Amino acid sequence: MSRPSIIYPYGPNESTCGYCSPPGSRSDTEYNRTSASLQALALTCDVYQRMIDRGWRRSGTYCYKPDMKNSCCPQYTIKLDALQFKPSKSQRKLMRRWNNFVERGDNSDAMTTEDKAKRPPRPNKSEDESGSLSSLLHAVEVPWVDPETTRHRFETVLEPSSYTDEKFELFKKYQADIHHDFKSSQSGFRRFLCETPLRTSPISYTGSPPAHLPVEYGSHHQLYRLDGELIAMAVLDILPSCVSSVYFMYDKKWERFSLGKLSAFRETSLACEIHQAGASQMSYLYMGFYIHSCPKMRYKGEYSPSFLVDPENYEWYPLETCVKFLSKNRYACFSSPEHSTSDPPPEYIEDAEPDPIPTEDLAQINIVRAARRGQVMVEPINEARCWSSEDARSLILHCIHGLGTGLSKEVIFTLQF
């Protein structure tokens, strides 16, 4: 294993729920819990793809797996089949509205007669109905159009995730204007939206891809620039079979164009374009968690065809099927509907030792014994000294259950930083 995935196991944890509304009505029983969490020192994109397919998600280098059964607002991983996605009439209208603005400006632009003369004729409405999603999105974007021919210059740039002051300024403004959070710190921004445990690896294109496509799997920032100004940014993980949306922020000044929705179309198109360039496994957009009990989050279900991952067998079920169960139950299991329940989550969870794992499996799960000069030496986890500590064993077992034994054998545990 040349570039291993290394993880530091944390136990389960709980926090009061941020999704229940109205906030004033929260009771003490409204918890969201994780069944396992970890700090990732390094993850290959393949390992992380398999983690999110089991309901994990990352925030910076911290990864967690919601405990659906014991949370008031269970979080289901949702994916959109990007290759099958056909925008609805109203979704096309949103894209056209932005295109018209870039192309021709609107009332907010003080226009000179010269500008007006520069305006191209408004396109025939039916003209783009048959066009592909990508062609509709790129219709007014540099380098697909000459910026001399449009009122505004619009471009997007996809780059490996990295910190800049300009990005942080946008984040700070977004947090204050949209979330009324005035305490954003530069270190918090770096930690959650710039740092990543993902190790890059080349995307398996068949030929040389178009210049605007990424060349490596890994964490990226997609910058939206209007007339040179950074107006929005998406944090994206580009993984073997999906584009996974981590975060999106925008300048409130452009709120009227629903940039959040436009970003989902752009990310869907990105997955399609990577697929078309020969990385045939790439097919989905992951939009994070779908939380049925939180109306504000249901917009994620407006993109079709979408699927939710089952919390027990980790197979994918069509969203329409899932919604039927979710509207009747707090916790819905699609593979074994009889496990679904509407009872509130328990107030306390006993700190019991997790179920044991067969010895022959444990013998194939490794932990760091020593690290010297960049060389990592490992030993079977059940032979490590820490295995005799009940606390350490409990953390590790929770993590193994969360990852599944198959995936646990492909990562290296560590209890040292």
Residue 252 in contact with residue 173, Cβ under 8 Å? yes
Distance (Å, rounded) from C-alpha 253 to C-alpha 232?
10
Task: Report helix, strand or coil for 66.
Answer: strand
**What tokens appear for 25 in the block?**
């009505």
Q: Identify which range of 33-41, 70-78, 86-94, 159-167 contacts Zn ion by CB under 5 A.
A: 70-78
Cis upstream peptide for 345 (omega within 30°): no
Q: Does 259 bind Zn ion (CB under 5 A)?
A: no
State which of residues 5, 6, 7, 17 lies at the interface with Zn ion (CB under 5 A): 17
Nearer CB in complex with Zn ion: 71/283 = 71
Residue 299 in contact with residue 290, Cβ under 8 Å? no
Residues 48-67, one symbol each (x = binds Zn ion by CB under 5 A, - = not), give --------------------
Q: Does 378 bind Zn ion (CB under 5 A)?
A: no
Residue 96 Cβ vs Zn ion, minimum distance, rounded to whole Å: 37
Residue 20 Cβ vs Zn ion, minimum distance, rounded to whole Å: 4
Residue for token digits 């911290």? Answer: 62
Strands 411-413 and 366-372 come out as parallel
Residue facing Zn ion at closest CB distance? 17
Nearer CB in complex with Zn ion: 248/331 = 331
The conformation of residue 295, written as its DSSP 8-state character, comes to G
Residue 79 Cβ vs Zn ion, minimum distance, rounded to whole Å: 23
Q: Does 73 bind Zn ion (CB under 5 A)?
A: yes
Residue 330 Cβ vs Zn ion, minimum distance, rounded to whole Å: 9
Q: Does 154 bind Zn ion (CB under 5 A)?
A: no
For the chain, what's the residue count?
417
Distance (Å, rounded) from C-alpha 365 to C-alpha 357?
11
Q: Does 76 bind Zn ion (CB under 5 A)?
A: no
Q: Identify which range of 13-21, 191-199, 221-229, 262-270 contacts Zn ion by CB under 5 A.
A: 13-21
Q: Identify which range of 11-19, 138-146, 174-182, 210-218 contacts Zn ion by CB under 5 A.
A: 11-19
Residue 80 in contact with residue 305, Cβ under 8 Å? yes
Helix-helix angle 259-276:89-104, to 10 degrees: 100
Q: Could you tell me how many residues of this chain bind Zn ion (CB under 5 A)?
A: 6
Nearer CB in complex with Zn ion: 17/235 = 17
Distance (Å, rounded) from C-alpha 13 to C-alpha 402?
13
State which of residues 11, 12, 19, 259 lies at the interface with Zn ion (CB under 5 A): 19
Residue 320 Cβ vs Zn ion, minimum distance, rounded to whole Å: 24
Q: Does 243 bind Zn ion (CB under 5 A)?
A: no
Residue 22 Cβ vs Zn ion, minimum distance, rounded to whole Å: 12
Nearer CB in complex with Zn ion: 214/345 = 345
Residue 402 Cβ vs Zn ion, minimum distance, rounded to whole Å: 21
Q: Does 72 bind Zn ion (CB under 5 A)?
A: yes
Nearer CB in complex with Zn ion: 75/156 = 75
The conformation of residue 355, written as its DSSP 8-state character, comes to P
Q: What is the DSSP string of 261-293?
A: HHHHHHHHHHHHHHHHTT-TT--EEEEEEE-TT
Gap between the terminal Cα atoms of the chain: 20
In terms of DSSP H, where are the helices of 85-154?
89-104, 113-118, 133-138
Residue for token digits 């003490």? Answer: 28
**What tokens appear for 365 in the block?**
């799960």
Task: Report helix, strand or coil for 229.
Answer: strand
Distance (Å, rounded) from C-alpha 8 to C-alpha 414?
5
Residue 332 Cβ vs Zn ion, minimum distance, rounded to whole Å: 15
Q: Does 331 bind Zn ion (CB under 5 A)?
A: no
Residue 340 Cβ vs Zn ion, minimum distance, rounded to whole Å: 17
Q: Identify which range of 30-38, 57-65, 264-272, 278-286 contacts Zn ion by CB under 5 A.
A: 30-38
Binding site for Zn ion (CB under 5 A): 17, 19-20, 30, 72-73
